[in-house]
A and B are shown apart, each in its own frame.
Chain A
């Protein structure tokens, strides 16, 4: 396989799933310490086919099928990283991260701290997350807050193919453990991937759409929803700015604050339940730092404070265009 630099193309149109696949391929080619590791990632190519054909190309010693055991996956990845490897672990779904939760929050996250920086764990734990695909229980959860709340972990999520391609490579290159959340309902959405160089660093937020009236702060699956809402709002004469947070931990608060200073209104949109969710963190910071700038309180459009409902209800449970537009109206009404 040629590296992107060797081809003459500088852009390619890919789905998010294919862009992630290309990003993983580039990382495997660039560094033979990189290993992929997970249930069904080999011949099947993962349940969402993100690792499709990688085992065929790099062999079963680089792309390892594993027993059905999440604690085992994360725990052994820690050991491999201690030995100088860069394991990229795939978990099948958001709801199945919890059997590995102790290994992630108590072990993976703390090793650097415990060892005064002697041990570094360049482990990436990637998994599909969020709702909107009509799935059964435990297949639609938004778990970012658990991990962003844990010091020592980096938590990022791409919202489009270009970010998927670059962020996965940046995550693998990171010296610290990264929780890499893949918005599964966006896996099949296409976008242009710049093959020459990343537009942004792993921890930078991006202004996905410029506007002047109000800022929508979002990430992962909600970025598309917010961009659609901004386009709809424009028809009603409202100019909505959309900030794609990209990295929840660490947080590029500067980019977010710059946007809100400029629009003076902010709405956080996330799929996860509202109580103690990431929206609370963002609203608190905005209130602490931009109290005098804002013309209306920070609003949140989120999932409700229930477990994820049966999928027939998810279109209404999840923040959707109508709920985002209603919040825009409410914010502007102050």
Chain B
């Protein structure tokens, strides 16, 4: 042995030259790809059959909302749409786990969750028709505003959670709401998102990060964002984490319930990686055939979250052709509602934008508004 040299095998001590944690990826899955139940040592589906049937219904309606909106874009009634095809189980599983005071800080593809939380669909459509910028009452809907700057909202969610914890400390009667923050696999690379993890861990904020790993950030595959599975990254921040099968509504529900309970119990932040696939294009102006293999997309079709849930429910005896037919009808009627909703959005007025920049408009804004009004009158 030479002094100062290295001895033995560089991999002799686990955790020194190699990750201490296994690189295998245990995934929470309760509903197998064939629609049969799977045993998991840590998570059990805690749902009645009626609740499960309700989740199937929600997934079907969300899919309808999405396909209808995509069609509206094709007809020129929306200028853009970000399809969520294939990601329905995540939004439904999360929604079913949320408590009545919990707040959601969404990314740009959570249209279904927004709808389930009670946001009128025309409010979302208005963003994509260019008529509004999403000025709903987020405090009331508990579904916060869309942020088009990837990752920026994750910090807001952590700060909000810190506020929730403080309120509870000051007043034990305060509501027990915590914050659920959603971001994508691409967003995980942004500085803001990493700072959000750091703050959540530093202050043990009652925050749940739900990372929707749909494998693609526009044309960049997830491997470009991280060489390790995304949920393992959270370890480095001291945030407990799991990966769940994002096409399994039961698993998403169970894992979200676990994380929300941890937050509520004062155990700090958690991280869930929901492993799924973006079946469609990034947005309606994107062309995925330029950058990804068709076979990959075809493979994921067999993991369709709706089919899986339906197969299971039929096997449980709580779903049958009659119920399916009624749901199809409901979806049909709902599709009509979506098509009508696009006409419910009002065109904005130019003069109104001056009133919402400051609490008290500046002299400049008052003058600019007056000028517009007088020009319009002169025309």
Confirm or deny: B337 has a beta carbon within 8 angstroms of a beta carbon on chain A.
no
B80: chain A residues within 8 A (beta carbon): 135-136
B220 shortest CB reach to chain A, Å: 6
Within 306-334 of A, Cβ neighbours of B (below 8 Å) are at 306-307, 309-314, 316-317
Confirm or deny: A99 has a beta carbon within 8 angstroms of a beta carbon on chain B.
yes
Confirm or deny: B191 has a beta carbon within 8 angstroms of a beta carbon on chain A.
yes
Confirm or deny: B377 has a beta carbon within 8 angstroms of a beta carbon on chain A.
no
Within 127-165 of B, Cβ neighbours of A (below 8 Å) are at 127-133, 148-152
Confirm or deny: A72 has a beta carbon within 8 angstroms of a beta carbon on chain B.
yes
Q: Given A134-B130, A310-B133, A69–B79 Cβ distance below 8 Å?
A: no
B219 and A313 contacting across the interface, CB-CB below 8 Å:
no
A71 and B290 contacting across the interface, CB-CB below 8 Å:
no
A67 and B224 contacting across the interface, CB-CB below 8 Å:
yes
Confirm or deny: B206 has a beta carbon within 8 angstroms of a beta carbon on chain A.
no
Q: Given A40-B220, A134-B130, A71–B148 Cβ distance below 8 Å?
A: no
Confirm or deny: A305 has a beta carbon within 8 angstroms of a beta carbon on chain B.
yes
A306 and B357 contacting across the interface, CB-CB below 8 Å:
yes
Stretch from A42-50, A222-230, A284-292 forming part of the interface with B: A42-50
Which of B130, B131, B354, B357 counts the most A-chain CB atoms under 10 A from its CB?
A: B130
Beta-carbon contacts of B359-379 to A below 8 Å, as 1s and 0s?
000101100100000000000
User: Given B132, B148, B225, B291, which contacts A310 in the complex, CB threshold below 8 Å?
Assistant: B132
A42 and B357 contacting across the interface, CB-CB below 8 Å:
no
Bound: A235/B61 CA distance, A = 57
What is the chain A residue whose CB lies nearest that of B134? A137
A65 and B219 contacting across the interface, CB-CB below 8 Å:
yes
Confirm or deny: B338 has a beta carbon within 8 angstroms of a beta carbon on chain A.
no
A67 and B220 contacting across the interface, CB-CB below 8 Å:
yes
Bound: A67/B347 CA distance, A = 38
B148 and A39 contacting across the interface, CB-CB below 8 Å:
no
Confirm or deny: B37 has a beta carbon within 8 angstroms of a beta carbon on chain A.
no
B127: chain A residues within 8 A (beta carbon): 136-137, 310
B348 and A44 contacting across the interface, CB-CB below 8 Å:
no
Confirm or deny: B265 has a beta carbon within 8 angstroms of a beta carbon on chain A.
no
Q: Given A44-B219, A95-B149, A310-B132, A68–B186 Cβ distance below 8 Å?
A: yes
A44 and B353 contacting across the interface, CB-CB below 8 Å:
no
Confirm or deny: B217 has a beta carbon within 8 angstroms of a beta carbon on chain A.
yes
A275 shortest CB reach to chain B, Å: 6
B192: chain A residues within 8 A (beta carbon): 99
A69 and B131 contacting across the interface, CB-CB below 8 Å:
no
Confirm or deny: B190 has a beta carbon within 8 angstroms of a beta carbon on chain A.
yes
A68 and B187 contacting across the interface, CB-CB below 8 Å:
yes
Confirm or deny: A85 has a beta carbon within 8 angstroms of a beta carbon on chain B.
no
B287: chain A residues within 8 A (beta carbon): 44
Confirm or deny: B189 has a beta carbon within 8 angstroms of a beta carbon on chain A.
yes
Confirm or deny: B47 has a beta carbon within 8 angstroms of a beta carbon on chain A.
no
A139 and B148 contacting across the interface, CB-CB below 8 Å:
yes
B130: chain A residues within 8 A (beta carbon): 134-136, 310-312, 314
Confirm or deny: A170 has a beta carbon within 8 angstroms of a beta carbon on chain B.
no
Bound: A134/B218 CA distance, A = 20
Q: Given A99-B149, A99-B192, A310-B133, A39–B218 Cβ distance below 8 Å?
A: yes
B333: chain A residues within 8 A (beta carbon): none
Confirm or deny: A58 has a beta carbon within 8 angstroms of a beta carbon on chain B.
no
* Residues of A that sit less than 8 Å from B by CB: 39-40, 42-45, 47, 65-72, 95-96, 98-99, 134-139, 274-275, 304-307, 309-314, 316-317
Identify 25 residue pairs between A and B in the complex whose beta-carbon atoms are under 8 Å apart, listed by A's number.
Answer: A42-B219, A43-B291, A44-B291, A47-B285, A65-B219, A68-B217, A68-B220, A69-B189, A134-B79, A135-B79, A135-B130, A137-B133, A138-B148, A139-B148, A304-B353, A306-B356, A309-B348, A309-B350, A310-B133, A312-B130, A312-B348, A313-B350, A314-B130, A316-B350, A317-B353
Q: With A69-B191, A312-B130 given, can you name 18 additional A-B contacts, CB distance below 8 Å?
A: A39-B217, A40-B219, A42-B219, A67-B220, A68-B190, A68-B225, A99-B190, A134-B79, A136-B79, A136-B130, A138-B148, A304-B365, A305-B364, A309-B350, A310-B126, A312-B129, A312-B131, A313-B350
6 tightest Cβ-Cβ pairs between the two chains A and B: A311-B130, A44-B219, A67-B189, A68-B186, A43-B291, A69-B189
